[in-house]
A and B are shown apart, each in its own frame.
Chain A
Amino acid sequence: ETGVTQTPRHLVMGMTNKKSLKCEQHLGHNAMYWYKQSAKKPLELMFVYNFKEQTENNSVPSRFSPECPNSSHLFLHLHTLQPEDSALYLCASSQGLQGAEDTQYFGPGTRLTVL
């Protein structure tokens, strides 16, 4: 897990707050991903970046705003969230869509609670 790090590990925020989640990968990968993990639901892919370009936006509400300044860093900016956005947010990275066997490696996640 040290290959992909996420900060903070826990975050509690009000619906009017603005916060950001940070992900950093130390694996030399070119693709990075944001997932949402809620109880009793499959992992939901939110965003994909490949070589810093966003290649996937899985119909995510605009209150979630991703940023990928370089291949090693990925941010998720949060504003005016709803209580149902409370979940574990996972970041992953991979070599970058070079084939269907491309393997994703995950960070430990940020546990977000929206009050």
Chain B
Amino acid sequence: AQSVAQPEDQVNVAEGNPLTVKCTYSVSGNPYLFWYVQYPNRGLQFLLKYITGDNLVKGSYGFEAEFNKSQTSFHLKKPSALVSDSALYFCAVRASSNTDKLIFGTGTRLQVFP
């Protein structure tokens, strides 16, 4: 069965430091991977996606994610965190053999301290 795991409920980082939000997945076919961010009282905003090609994907607001097939991971990264990055981050996967559903993780709350 397809699944996504975000092992950390919360990640704390100081402003200016690099940040990583972890995601691992399990699918039967080739994975199509997505990251979304949710600010308080808002819907989910699309950040980036991996379809094929380069393992390092660049997205909105300076975020990037690295696809690692051997480790079945798709961690979200940013070289220098901002206080305004504080939000809830969701990883999602769609297996190529099942194109009508996104499977979401439980979310990771990122807190960036000044």
Contact = CB atoms under 8 A, between A and B. Distances in A.
Contact of B32 (A41, A43, A100, A111): A100
B75 to A, nearest CB: 18
Contacts of B32: 100-101
B96 interface: yes
A38 B4 CA distance: 17
B24 to A, nearest CB: 14
B90 interface: yes
A48 B100 CA distance: 8
B46 A101 contact: no
Interface in B39-63: 41-46, 49, 51
Majority secondary structure of chain A interface residues (helix, strand, loop or mixed) = loop
A56 B90 contact: no
**Chain A, interface residues (CB within 8 Å), range:** 20 to 34
Nearest to B44: A106
Interface string B100-114: 111111110000000
Nearest to A104: B102
B34 interface: yes
Contacts of B103: 42
Interface of A: 1, 4, 6, 40-43, 45, 48, 50, 55-56, 90, 92, 97, 99-109, 111
Given A42-B105, A106-B45, 10 more contacts: A4-B43, A6-B43, A40-B106, A41-B106, A42-B4, A42-B107, A101-B49, A103-B34, A103-B49, A106-B43
- The 10 A-B pairs with the shortest beta carbon distances in the complex, nearest first, are A106-B43, A106-B44, A43-B104, A101-B51, A100-B32, A108-B43, A100-B96, A100-B99, A42-B104, A109-B43
